[in-house]
Each structure stands twice: as C-alpha cells, then as structure tokens.
Structure 1
Amino acid sequence: MDHLPASREDILRIYQGDARPWVIGYSGGKDSTAVTRLVFEALAALPPERRTKPVFVVSSDTLVETPLVVDLIRQTLDQMRHAARDQGLPIEVAEPVTPKVSETFWVNLIGKGYPAPTRQFRWCTERMKIDPVSEFITDKVAQYGEVVVVLGSRMQESASRAQVMKRHRIDGSRLARHAGLVNAYVFTPIDEWSADDVWEYLFSGPAPWGADHQALFDLYKGSNAGECPLVIDTSTPSCGNSRFGCWTCTVVQKDRAMDGLIESGHTWMVPLRDFRNLLFSTTDPQRKGEFRNARRRDGSVTVHLKADKAGGEVEEKHVLGPYRLEFRKQLLRQLLENQKLVNEHNPGSPYELITKPELEQIRIEWRLDPNEPDWEDSVPRIYREVFGSDLAWDLNDDFIFTGVEAALLDRLCADHQLPKELFMKLLELEMSFEGYARRSNLQRDLRALLTRDWSSEKAAIAAAGDRKRSQSYFELKEQQLQKRYADYGKVLGDAA
C-alpha cells in the first residue's frame, strides 16, 4: 500500500493545521469505512492534548436503503460511538440524517404521485440525499464558521469523478471547495488509492471500533456491487448500475446488486425486487398512460407540438401528470404487504419499509390531492386490510368529508352532468375559509378553480392540442410579419 503513509501524514497535518472541525461522510461502503478508520487511528496516535477539535461522523438514510446495508451501517455506527467514548477521542457519531417527511420517496411517489425516477427526471437525489446532509453541514458551519468535509472519494472510481475532484481542488492544497456550501471545504485522503488498496488496508487488521470488516466484504461479495457514495452536492455522481443504494432505484434498468444478494441466499428480498421492477415498468414510454393522470398537479394539460424534419406533419406529444390515485392505492397496498412478507421471512431485525409519519403525510396528500381528492380516507383502511389492526392515527379535523358523502356526490354530479372533482374542491374551498373574518382570497382561489379545465381527459387533451396549434399559428404569423417589416426597412434604407 504505497499511498497509506502519505494519507496518514495528510490526515495528521491537516487535522492539526487549523481549528476547523471535520465532518466525515460515512456511507457504509468500503471507501468511507477506510477513511473513517484512518481518522480513528490518526487521532488515537495523537497525545490527548493535541486532539484539539471535534470530528463528526454523519451518514444518510434515505429510508429506502437496501435493508442489509441499513443494518450494517447502524451496527457499525453504534460500535464507532462506543469506541470513540472509550478511547477518549473527540469523535461524535451522529444519528443518520433522513429527509423531511414531506420529501421522502414514498410521500412523493405514493402521496403526491411523482412518477418513478428516471435519468431524465431524477427528482429523488436532491430531496433525499443532498438536502439532509447539506443541512447537517450548514448547521456545523453556523456553529464553527468553517468546516472540512472528509470523504472517501477516489479518482480511479470513474473519469467523471476524477474530473469533478480536480475541478474543485484549491491550488497548492489538499483541500477542495465544496461545490454548493459556503465555508465548507472537502478533503479526500484516499483519492489516489485503488480498490485493491482499500481492501488490502481494511484487511490489514481489525478496525479501531472492534469490527473485522468481514461482514462488509461478504456484502460486497454477495452483490457484486460497489457502494453508493455519500452524495453532498449535485456534482457528486449518484448511484449507478450495480451499486448499493436505494432498493427502489428505477434509474437503472436492472438492480444487479439486489439480484446478487438474492442469489447469494437472501431470498426474503424477492418481494422488494419485484416491487422495484413494478415501479420500473411504469417508466416504459409505451405504458405510461396506464398509470398516470392526463392532468398535471396544477390541473393543467400540457401538449407539445413537434414538426417533422421536413417541416410538414406535426407530432403532438402529451406530457402526462402524476400517478392516478387508484394506482397509488395499489402501490401502497403492495408495499405494506411486502413489509409484512419481509418481516415474516427476514432472519434479522424487523424492517420498516414505510414509516408511520410517511403514512400520515400520504393521508394528507391524498385528501388534498388537486385532481382526485380522497374523501374516503383510504390509508387507514388499506393498512387495516393488510395487517388486520390499526395504528394510532393522528386526529385531523381536515378530514371533513367521508366516503358516504363522496358516493352521494357521485350520483348527484352524474345526474346534473357536473364534474365531481370540481364540486368536491369547491366544497373544500368553502370549508377552508370557514370562520375567517376576511375572505379576500376566496375570490382568487375560486377563480383559479373555475378556470381549470374539468372536462374529460380526452376532451382536455384535444383542447390543449387545439390551443397549442392556435398559439403556434399566431407565433408563425408574427414571425412572418416581423421578417416582412425588417425587409421593408432594409429596402427603405437602401433607397435613402
């Protein structure tokens, strides 16, 4: 390991060089484990009086991490916490940071109906990974003025990773500027190491917190995967083909890491793989219309026109909206059934695929859905049908209507040829202003509801296409007139 002495020297020199505290990004993979171990060993080698500043270890739990990885991370963090205390090291191991309940994967996908992430629409990374870690780092910056973020990034991982690391490096320094956070700097002690260097170091002896890294090695061996790095900004490459990360990841066509774990004996993960594959199937361009609403969440219907290369035939492309509520109900039921199956067959500790706060938030999102309000309050019913019991659901006076009223409205609106959803939203709007001394915003909100297109999906799409064609026609006429006026101006100028 030719790079080990230099890395140890860098750690000791930079740690003692100033008063800026460190934040180690620990993802549970081999690279972040190696960096954390290096720092532990370096601090242990220093006399107590020279351990002058704190080191924080932070990890990220998106709440949809691969269960085996979650178990290993939590076990290792607990070991680190006890070891730092027993050895008198200034290392504080934080609880894993998680996304806000309104920004979790399930609240966005099942609650709001966001379609499964794709390479073109990867809405998950910033909400679930970058924001929680950035908030942790920002808090430390506010407390100490500046911080150094220590990561296990290596240039040999990929050409894009090396390019990003070099671009932010400060000339003449081992530090780089953080791509998104002011007064935060990045230190990568093993950036010149190879994967073999990392494994050789990890197996050179036991970790300072008492582990031998065998469980980590077995996890890699079983999945044929590399770890998902701790993502700290948009320039950090997210998880790719065969990397440990979210078990729900649909950015890749096939989750080879999960397949490898199942083939190595973890057959209890089959329901998770099947559910991920179901989500991936909804990204098929030929099938999107089966699962998604014609309207977007703001109620609009979006149609784009694209002329062929010859400028003749115009192709109409309809931009679909969120998942339909009925499909979201199916997803929630299947997810809860999977949770039940996993905990019946998982030899380890019980695993929570979706948390109670997420279920509560999904109730609210469904109840207030802009296109398909769920007056039946379906979440508790679905949970009860799957588990045969109830949770201690929060009492919320926002649930002012029931399924009985929804059924009655179905009949009345059908008799009077009135869109049911419009009438439901009008009643909700009136109730939301109940008790207000001033109702100045009522007219504004009422106008917004009444100006939305509440016709059938087919009619709404056709109308949107007609509007787009009319708009394109007048834009073309305007361009022709502008060109004509420009030509006239040129002729008059030449005549003068």
Structure 2
Amino acid sequence: MTQQRSTIFSTIDEMLESSEFAGRPALDLIRETQELYLENDKPWVIGYSGGKDSTTVLSLVYVAVSRLEKSLRTKHIYVISSDTLVETPLVVDMVNSSIQAINDNAKALDLPFTGHVVYPDWGETFWVNLLGKGYPAPTQNFRWCTERMKIDPVSDFITDKIAKYGEVIVVLGARSQESASRAQVIAKHKIDGSSLSRHSSLPGAFTYMPIENWTFDEVWMYLLSAPAAWGGDHYELFDLYKDSSAGECPLVIDTNTPSCGNSRFGCWTCTVVTKDRAIEGLIESGETWLQKLKDFRNKLYVTTNPAVKDQYRNYKRRTGKVQYARGSIDNENITELKTIPGPYWLSVRKEWIEELLTIEKNLNDEGHKIELIRPEELFAIRREWMFDPNEPDWSDELPAIYRRVYGKDLNWPDTDGGSFTQDDAELLQSLSKQYRTPAELVMKLLELEMSMDGLGRRKGLFNKIESILKNDWGTLEEILAHKEQAKPSTSIANGTSYDDQLDQLTKELEALQ
C-alpha cells in the first residue's frame, strides 16, 4: 500500500514538472498554494462538489500540502461537500466514496485533511418543504430551494469555523471562463496584491480560487494526466460527464453563485429548468432505472404551468388568507378578483409521497441501493400534515401510507400524533354542515385550546383566536363573494364599523380574564 501511494505521487510529480496551465508552470501554482498555506494560521475549507473543477482544486491543494515537511503541516484543511438529499444518485455515490478515500488516505499519510458532508436541516429539506409544507415546485421566480438546501448548510459549517478560529480561507473551483457573471463576481471581491478575495457574504472568510484562469480543456488535461492524489483515478468522473453531457454543479456558498441550470449535475428534482439534460444523458447511456426519477420530476414540473396551478394548489396561502394578484383591487374598489394559489392540496401531497415511496421500494427491489426520502424527513412531514394551517390531517395518514408501500411500520415518534383522530374530523365535518361553520376553522380553534391547556396564564390567547377568526374560511366562491360585498366604510346597525366592534369585543374578553 505504501509503495502504491509512492507511485501515485511520483506520477503526479512528473506531470506537474512538465505541465503549464493558464500560461503558468504547474509547479509555480503548487508553490503559491504552499506559501499561502504557510502564511498564517487560518484553517482552510475546500468546497468539493465532486465535479471536475472542485476535484482539480482539491487535488492541487492535496498535492501541495503533501509535498511540505510534516512539521509544517500544522493547519487543518476541511473538505466539505453539500448533499441536498436529492442529488443525482450516481454523483452522490461518487462523492461519498471520494470523501471516504480522502479520509482514509489522509489518516494513513498523516495529512491534515478531513472530509465532511453537510446536509440541510431536517425541517428544510426539499421533501419536507414540498410534500410537508406544500411549497410549489421551484421556478425561476420562486427558487426557495437553493438557500435552504445548499447555502445555509455550507454557511453554517464555515461560520462555525470562523467562530472557532476567527478567520478561514475557503478554497473554491470557480473559473472565470465558466460565465461572464462569475468572472465579474470574482473580480469584484479580489484583494489587490493578493491571491485571496473577500467572501461576498461571510465576514471573516476569504476565498482562494487557484484555477480561476484555467480553461475547460486544461482542467481535463490535469485530471486525466495523473491518478487521484487520494487513490484511484478520475476516469469514473470523466465517464460520468461523457455519459450525461453535463457540467459541474458548483458548491454554492452565496446567492452570487450561478445555479446549476441547463445540463449541469444537480438535484434530480430540479424544476427550475425545462429539461434535466444530465439525467437524460445518463438514461440514454444505459442507466435506464433513472427513468422513474425523471418521470416523477416531470410530474412536479407540470404543476409549474400557470394554466393548471389551480388543480394542484389551495386557493389560500399558508397564512390562512387568500392573496389577490396586483390589479385585482384598486383603491379599495374591486375590479377583477384574481388570486395567487397557495400550497399544494394535502390530497396531492399524499398521492405524491405514496408514489415516491413506491419508486424507492421498487428500485431497491431491483437491486439499486437508494434512499429517496429519509425517515427523519417522513417524521417532519407527518408533523407538518398534522398541524397544517389550512388542512390539518387529523386522520394521521402518513404511517398508513408507509405501511401500504412497505408492509411494515417505521418507529414513528409518539409526539408526532396530534390530540385528535379521524373520527373527530368526521364528526366535525358532519356538524359543519349543520351549523354552517367550516370544519377546518373549528379544528384550528381546538388545536389552539389544546396547545394552551395546562398553562397558568393564557397570555395572548385572544389575539391568537382573533388571528384564526380573521383568516379566510369557506370555499373560494364564498370568500370571493364576501370580498366583493365588503366595503371599508361599511357600518353595522348601530353605526359602528366592523373593525371598531371587533376591537370592543376583544377588550371586553380581556377584561374577563
């Protein structure tokens, strides 16, 4: 094993000694990296997405530091990869195996590298937001996923190191040639007379981009001219690019980083683009099992069409109110009421989660070891459904859906189940017709009562009741009819406006406490 490692580094050294990149001898860049490493005690954080650019940068730093005397290798280097939990499966497998190889090799050679994979918080994953909270599939105008799933986990990791060490240097595989916008961002934050740039949004963080002037061809020439410094080679990566006709999805650390888009590797669920050309290329090259994921992604994409949004999405927002499009109400005079759809209907989310679990089970039965949705996400989704602001799921159907698909139960936390049952929901539905009161309104009031039960002082209770009562309840037709009839100056029989009387009733209720 020692002989094998020696051979790997000898081959890399030979390549570096005879190569130039961006008009600069490769060894010159290695020396620059070493000097920067030794310049201060700021730890390094290397952003590693598994693509060609980040792999090249990681290799350069790995080689540069390994060529230093052991006594000089005192500063730690964190290699971080961001897994959104919906990454293209083949890329996830490759990245995870690389992180494991980096950790094993660095430990064996006593190098100051450790690989880490960061994930979004369980309450902010793609499936918890889309299937749990009902967020619509991301679009160019509402790309809610990038910050929650990519930027925040990476920023939290870097911020933690800044808190511990004061400052850090983030090493990235950004290249100016990738796009004009990226070139502008790189130039904007450059520090004069230094190879470092200021991070655009994280105080205490500096960025180092050693291959910013490299071309596409130079990146591949470097990767294919020598083995991977941590073992193996880069031909698996090359084959993956070749088969998918894709590009690298960069490690996103701020909102200035371009999205994956077009043919780049990224989330297989991405609906920001019209077609996922990367996964299409993999299917055409023989990975036909990915067709199931493509079909599911396309089903989500269909719902972004404005013409069909009303079929899939509630007419109320998660605030409990109907939101009207600009121009529907002008100077309090209602012209043509147009509403902005809210979250996906709970029935739609239930159908999709059963389909997703079925795809996962079938793929595993076919020999593909894959986890499309984690148990922790299912637990979070169950709670979101139970306490949905518009359609509380008192039937607690998610455990039953999982059981239908897998024929067994998860270890569901007892606290996920609400205080009410399906029988309670059916009773309220029957009573709502008799008393002409929306069942969902009563359900939310009962949930509020249960949440306040046992408290010595119910501070703010009436404000919370008022908030629930002010939500829009009933069918869309009833809500729109009420809106059209309402006038801001409308007075009731005694000459007091509705709002004035509501304020008076609230004061009387508070006086009774």
Question: What's the TM-score once normalised by structure 2's chain length?
Answer: 0.88
Comparing 48-57 with 140-149, which one deviates more in the overlay? 48-57
- Partner of 2:264: helix, strand, or coil? coil
Map 1:238-387 → 2, pairs under 5 A: 238-306=259-327, 316-347=337-368, 350-387=369-406
Q: Offset at 1:55?
A: 0.7
Identify which of 73, 78, 97 aligns with 2:95. 73
CA contact (8 A) 1:147 1:183 kept: yes
**Structural RMSD (CA):** 1.9
Query: Structure 1: which amino acid aligns with 2:215?
Result: S
* 1:438 maps to which of 457, 467, 470: 457
CA contact (8 A) 2:76 2:113 kept: yes
Cα distance change on mapping 1:2 and 1:426 into 2, 3 Å: closer
One-letter amino acid matched to 1:396: T
Quick one: distance in 2 between partners of 1:249 and 1:397?
Answer: 29
Task: Tell me if the contact between 2:66 and 2:111 (Cα under 8 Å) persists in the aligned partners.
Answer: yes
In the TM superposition, residue 10 of structure 1 has moved relative to its aligned partner by 2.2
State whether residues 268 and 346 of structure 1, in contact with CA within 8 Å, keep that contact through their aligned partners in structure 2.
no
**Do the aligned partners of 2:383 and 2:416 also contact (CA within 8 Å) in 1?**
no
Deviations 1:248-274 (A, max 9, x none): 000000000010011111111111000
What is residue 393 of structure 1 aligned with on the other side?
Answer: 412
Q: Name 1:57's counterpart in structure 2.
A: 79
- 2:33 maps to 1:11: yes
Q: Distance in 2 between matches of 1:149 and 1:215?
A: 26
Structure 1 residues 354 and 416: CA distance shift in structure 2, 3 A: same
Residue segments in structure 2 that go unaligned for 5+ positions in a row: 1-19, 329-333, 490-513
Gap change, CA 1:441 and 1:306, over 3 Å in 2: closer
Give the whole-Å Cα distance in 2 for the aligned partners of 1:282 and 1:453: 24
**Contact persistence 1:318–1:461 (CA under 8 A):** no
Partner of 1:24: 46
**Is 1:114 the equivalent of 2:135?**
yes
TM-aligned CA deviation for residue 453 of structure 1: 2.1
Name the aligned partner's letter for residue 53 of structure 2: D
Write the distance in 1 (CA, Å) between the matches of 2:485 and 2:130.
31
1:415 Cα shift?
2.0
* Counterpart amino acid of residue 57 in structure 1: V
1:136-147 alignment, distance < 5 Å: 136-147=157-168
Q: Which of 398, 403, 410 is the equivalent residue of 2:429?
A: 410
Per-residue Cα deviation, 1:168-195 (whole angstroms, up to 9, x for no partner) = 1112211111111111000000001111
Letter in 2 for 1:426: L
Closer/same/farther in 2, CA of residues 462 and 417 from structure 1, 3 Å limit: closer
Corresponding residue number in structure 2 for 1:101: 122
Cα separation, 2, equivalents of 1:42 and 1:397: 51
- 1:70 is paired with a residue whose SS is helix
Match of 1:422 among 416, 430, 441: 441
Q: Secondary structure at the match of 1:440?
A: coil
Q: Which amino acid aligns with 2:464?
A: D
Contact 2:85 2:125 in 1 (8 A): yes
Query: Which of 185, 191, 194 matches 1:170?
Result: 191
Residues 421-461 of structure 1: CA deviation (Å, up to 9, x unaligned): 01111111111111111112221111111122212112223
CA distance in 2, matches of 1:384, 1:262: 31
CA distance in 2, matches of 1:121, 1:59: 25
**Alpha-carbon shift at residue 302 of structure 1 (Å):** 1.1
The change in CA–CA distance for 1:439 and 1:28 in structure 2 (over 3 A counts) is same
Instruction: Work out the percentage of aligned pairs sharing the same amino acid.
Output: 53
The corresponding residue for 1:481 is: none
Measure how far apart 1:298 and its partner are: 0.7
Deviations 1:34-68 (A, max 9, x none): 11111111011111112131111011010111110
Structure 1 residues 416, 36: CA separation in 2 closer, same or farther (over 3 Å shift)?
same
CA contact (8 A) 1:303 1:465 kept: no
Residues 31 and 397 (structure 1), Cα distance of their counterparts in 2 relative to 1, 3 Å cut: closer
Of 125-134 and 203-212, the range deviating more from structure 2: 203-212
Q: Which residue does 1:487 correspond to in 2?
A: none
Q: Look up the SS of the partner of 1:341 in the other structure.
A: helix
- 1:352 and 1:180 map into 2 onto residues whose CA distance is 33
| Cα offset, 1:314, TM superposition | 5.4
Contact 2:79 2:114 in 1 (8 A): yes
2:63 is aligned to 41
- Please say if 1:224 is aligned against 2:232: no
User: In the TM superposition, what is the alpha-carbon distance from 1:304 to its structure 2 partner?
Assistant: 2.5
> 1:167: how far off?
0.8
Alignment: residue pair count = 464
SS at match of 1:148: strand
Cα distance in 1 for partners of 2:422, 2:141 equals 38
The CA distance in 2 between the partners of 1:397 and 1:244, in whole Å, is: 35
User: How far 1:6 moved relative to its partner?
Assistant: 3.8
Distance 1:321 1:451 in 2: 17
Aligned partners of 2:83 and 2:118 also within 8 Å: yes
